[in-house]
Structure 1
């Protein structure tokens, strides 16, 4: 309860602050204050922490990420999500080993693996007051979706090497294939099995909204637990389950009420879980800082400030690698010459913004806390506290650096132009309206057949069909005269929103004066809210 209250309060405080301080930093600060009270501090079980937080978050990322946009820039995304992660694990791993010789090499690789995934939610919070170009955000989301899995799989290998004291490339390659293919297959299979069973039951016995929502929440946990039980990647299973959920929903539709309520439930879960992770990070800081004097001895130093120096050095290494990789990747993908479009040099601000956007967050913390407490023989895991301190420092420093650098770099920044999707949207709206007119005509004839009051059905049908025909005409005209109709649509939208606001204010006033009952007021307000959501979307 304290964690949830801290999430709510930190969200409100971050909006009240005069400066654009990202919400994750505020949540970490609140967690730090809670952690100072030792009787309130949460003792984390690493495996339980991983199970509770990661499956639903990764599942939701896979479910909601725009698939077409992801496929369009799939080469860039894979270069960042896989190539950059492997480069980070190897390059930063050896760098940490050189920087801190007292840390075992396997633990260095584990730390490098855990700080390789990025967190787009933290980036969105940082850039809330400065819009991120949509294409850039899609690339960041795709990168985060895949590098979460690749980074945590590399972490698993590094921990296994630390526990056993040996590492075989051949054995690791086979294990990786089993982890990846098995995890992906289990995620797809679980989602398809659950959604098909759910659809079969709903078609024959009706649909219960509450149970449908609960099933969607349980799917990522089922995929994760089954994959881990079969020694596959539960992380990849959760991601695959989320991606599959998109296509399963298209073929087996839920009720409108179910979709709307489910979206609200998942929005709340995402907000709560992400917030709690950052509050939990803050809670661990007092203990981590209190042990700093003892932790720094692992590095053969006595002054705790050396830990800060190590964090800064690791951050600089991460930034240099990311900047170089993004520059090369964008030159090979987004800015290459193709389709009669000549090559143009990437804007350095775009490369810098993508580099600053490599913020570490929830996944990094979740991963580093899963490092075992002991080795197989029962002795303490080497340099575990040091790895947690450095990972926490990287998270905080990346948030601070991005909160300062991103708003400056994003002002006026543009990505390579994308083809407009307005024609695609107009075509879909016209096709849907034509299908609606045809269906209304059929139902109208069926209802009016043999009835004396057939004119009532004809008048009602004509009125509704006129609305659809008006929509078709407006879309066709919009295609012919884009600039004028766009301006007309903007003016109409503002006028409709003004009218809806006046309607809502009047209904609230009548409800306060008890001119209408609360049930009627709630019904009317819901209708107005849905209309406003349509025009604002």
Structure 2
């Protein structure tokens, strides 16, 4: 394929992403579903070549930045608080699902070697970080469930990758050791964490010395690949290395980044992550043609593999239900024994947690990386793709309705001690205390009277609002509606002056930036 033609295909794919994302939004369906379905349809367009995906390249390009972004935006404090629950899902649930799928597959196909059954179990056992983000960003969950699912999606790929490597090695060499697998997992995880700590610490030191915000943003963007590739280079978990780096960056970003760098970097990174997530689902859809052709066509696939794959999909879903409800039972049992450190999720919470197990790019990449000579490779590839389709189309489209049905509420124990308005009041009072000190010169003369009055009035009003939030909310909404209208009027006047030649481009840019900041502030306060 010529480079120019390849570039044209990439542009067409990006255009398709925008169209499909918009169509999904208009039709009320998750964007991941629209992109996956659209990619599947594009794959069979006449004249379009079969898309061959290099699995190693897909993992290296897409997985590190998406993992880093997830770790950057996750609540580190809640992650520490729920580390046992996250570990239970990211390690325990993955190992349990792996075993269930391997056993069910071997019962369905007794002639298929155990190594092939284990490979399929390893491939489909970890829910995908990209798919989880695509689903979770459209729903509202209690903090505990949100952090459990986000933390699981960041860490479970490491478990699946270790199991996959051992399953492939067992298929090739004919030997497998559970003790070696468990030991290797902990060694890879520990080594990955060490690499992540080293890279994250280096980033903190580097940012403190770099004065150019564009250099900081560029260095930050590259860090995900540096962590991942460095971890893989020394044969430890690149996934854990990347996640650890992201957590360190997340913790220190508030103290080492300037406001301008944070705003510009967030804008840049948001667009990059959007395009990467969308491209992943498009690529999964585009690979459908190659998978079907390898399986012998739709008719052959449905006739010979349809029912067994459906049984495996059901077993996969039930395994997650069994683990989630079993873990919740253990928590309840501990409470009965007066070991009441943790609160059970309850039936509705465990149901939502069980249903949020969507598979995606990691599953596809692992399936495609199975060696050509590996026993049962065609079945593994078709089954893996079918499970991706099944979980995205079934669970991805219904999770929102399930959450609505569950009517989950935030437990009092998981709510922060301060509300948003109370935190804002504390911040305003601290600012006023500083102004009270700096408003006077060394001789005690007031040199900033207007500044002192401004911050005093602001602190008083914010404290008053925190005490009577419900009463002031409608007035606040109306207030910022007026502010937004005033901003729009000011922007129109600026453009009129510029078009008339009364102000130059520099003046337009400077004043428009002030209006943009005022508009963003008003929108944030209104929401």
Same-fold call, TM cutoff 0.5: yes
Determine the C-alpha separation between the residues in 1 that align with 2:515 and 2:168: 55
Aligned runs of 1:102-501 on 2, under 5 Å? 102-119=111-128, 122=131, 125-126=134-135, 131-199=140-208, 201-202=209-210, 207-250=211-254, 252-293=255-296, 304-333=302-331, 337=335, 347-371=346-370, 373-374=371-372, 380-403=373-396, 405-412=398-405, 413-415=407-409, 417-419=411-413, 420-421=415-416, 423=418, 425=420, 428-446=423-441, 457-471=447-461, 473-474=463-464, 478=467, 485-501=468-484
Q: Look up the SS of the partner of 2:358 in the other structure.
A: coil
CA deviation map 1:53-96 (0-9, x unaligned): 11111122122111222233333222222111111111211211
Superposition deviation, residue 509 in structure 1: 2.9
Is 1:94–2:103 an aligned residue pair?
A: yes
Root mean square deviation of aligned Cα: 3.1
Q: 1:178 to 1:353 in 2, by over 3 A?
A: closer
Q: Which residue of 2 aligns with 1:481?
A: none
Structure-2 residue corresponding to 1:15: 25
Q: Which runs of 5+ in 2 are unaligned?
A: 1-10
Question: Aligned residue for 1:482?
Answer: none
What is the rounded CA distance, in whole Å, between the counterparts of 1:416 and 1:437 in structure 2? 33
- 1:469 CA displacement: 3.0
Which residue does 2:8 correspond to in 1?
none
Deviates more, 1:388-397 or 1:437-446: 437-446
Which among 509, 513, 516 is matched to residue 523 of structure 1? 513
**TM-score (ref. length: structure 2):** 0.86
Q: Report if aligned partners of 1:360, 1:398 keep a CA contact under 8 Å in 2.
A: yes
| CA contact 1:335–1:344 (8 Å) conserved in 2 | no
CA contact (8 A) 2:200 2:249 kept: yes
Contact 1:69 1:138 in 2 (8 A): yes
Which ranges of structure 1 fall in alignment gaps of 5 or more residues? 297-301, 375-379, 479-484
Cα gap change, 1:491 to 1:341, in 2 (>3 Å): farther
Q: In the TM superposition, what is the alpha-carbon distance from 1:285 to its structure 2 partner?
A: 0.4
Deviation at 1:395? 1.1
Report which stretch shifted further, 142-151 or 163-172. Answer: 163-172
Task: Rate the CA distance shift 1:71–1:398 in 2: closer, same or farther, 3 A.
Answer: same
- Equivalent-residue separation in structure 1 for 2:187 and 2:50 (angstroms): 38
- Between the aligned partners of 2:397 and 2:462, the Cα distance in structure 1 is 47
Matched, 1:535 2:518: no
Match for 1:35 among 33, 39, 43? 43
Query: Is it true that 1:4 corresponds to 2:14 in the alignment?
Result: yes
Count of aligned pairs: 506
Equivalent position of 1:299 in the other structure: none
